[in-house]
Amino acid sequence: MTLRDANFPLASGPSLPGQPPYPAVLLGQLADLDWELPPGDLRLRALDRGGPEPAPAFANLVGAREAWDHHPLWMDFLDPSSPVHTQKMLERALYLHHWREQVPHGARVLDLGGGIGRFSTWCLDRGLEVELVDPDVRALRRAVAHAAGRPGRFDVHWSTGEALPELAPVDVVFAVEVLNYVESPERVMAEIRRVLRPGGVLLLSVEARWGWPLATDVSPGSLDQVGGDTLHLPGDRFVRTYDETALHSLLQGWSIEAMVPSHYVLGGPFEAAAGALDLPALLAAEARMRAHPVYAPLNRAWTVVAR
């Protein structure tokens, strides 16, 4: 379930020295190869090979599979030529504005649902040790390519949040826009608690109940499901949204140090009106939205620091 177990169906693959996580400077030898991993959740292999969703929450992976085939540059937004590269980097900066002080020097990090490595690459550039878990093996291949050559150590695992691998304890868990798309949020939270060392920090974000349906990327045909806690379009999308009460319930037993609503302006209800913003303007817009009597409840996301 780690890069140690990778196989290379179309070529003889390189051998990585020592034990994972591996120095990211060595990963360039994997960047242009097609490799596979044993899945931690056995349903992922059939799904990756074109099978139907085994449960509603897997609809996102069916949609992602199609998107990788037809719109790879939209999916690989760490590539500077991606149409959404600037937006996604600003969104990362917005999250890190709230979180960067929570990631200590020398930390060991789990990037849960980390995709192509948006937060893993930031951690690696700080010389940290990162384990990335994601159910999309295509995203994992791009994450390794983006990690290659950076400081820090890196490993990836093909699995779901409900079936985390056996890991040495981690100091920080990034769970960014993950718990909206899982089968059992409660089981994922239990798995996070299992791998997070005592006193470690969870950096969490989720899609908010009322701002999410107003975003420009909401699925056509979902109007009848707006206002419920879940939306399911088979073969395309599954989203579980949270209001403040539901989020507090999910975090029962955790010490919440911060819970900040984000209007996530570049991907939320006000995206078109915002236009092009730099980070200071984005942060100023966020503050204005939080203070507005009408706009305040329309936050696109919640950001959380919890222990």
Higher pLDDT, 144 or 1: 144
Stretch 33-57: mean pLDDT:
91
pLDDT band at 225 (very low <50, low <70, confident <90, very high): low
Residue of 120, 200, 140 whose CA lies nearest to 168? 200
The mean of the pLDDT values for the chain is 91
Distance CA(11)–CA(4), nearest Å, equals: 16
Enumerate domains of the chain plus CATH numbers: 3-306 (3.40.50.150)
Q: Burial level of 34, CB count in 10 A (0-12/13-18/19+)?
A: exposed
Q: What is the pLDDT of residue 267?
A: 72
Helices (H), ranges, the chain: 43-48, 59-70, 72-75, 85-99, 118-125, 137-147, 185-195, 244-250, 271-274, 279-291
Bridge partners (DSSP) of residue 208 are: 242
Residue of 194, 188, 189 whose CA lies nearest to 170? 194
Residue of 201, 213, 179 whose CA lies nearest to 110? 201
In the block, which residue shows the tokens 């303007």?
Answer: 281
Q: What are phi and psi of 205, to 5 degrees?
A: -140, 150
Q: pLDDT of 123-175, one tens digit each?
A: 999 999 999 999 999 999 999 999 999 999 999 999 999 999 999 999 999 99
Q: What is the pLDDT of residue 233?
A: 79
Q: What is the pLDDT of residue 224?
A: 64
- The answer to whether 238 and 58 have CB atoms below 8 angstroms apart is yes
Q: What is the pLDDT of residue 306?
A: 98
* pLDDT at residue 229 greater than cutoff 70: yes
Stretch 89-101: mean pLDDT:
94
* pLDDT at residue 38 greater than cutoff 80: yes
Q: pLDDT of 286-299, one tens digit each?
A: 999 899 999 898 88
Distance CA(140)–CA(2), nearest Å, equals: 11
pLDDT band at 117 (very low <50, low <70, confident <90, very high): very high
* pLDDT at residue 222 greater than cutoff 80: no
283 HSE (CA, 13 A, CB side): 9
Angle at 17 between CA 12 and CA 18, to 5 degrees: 135
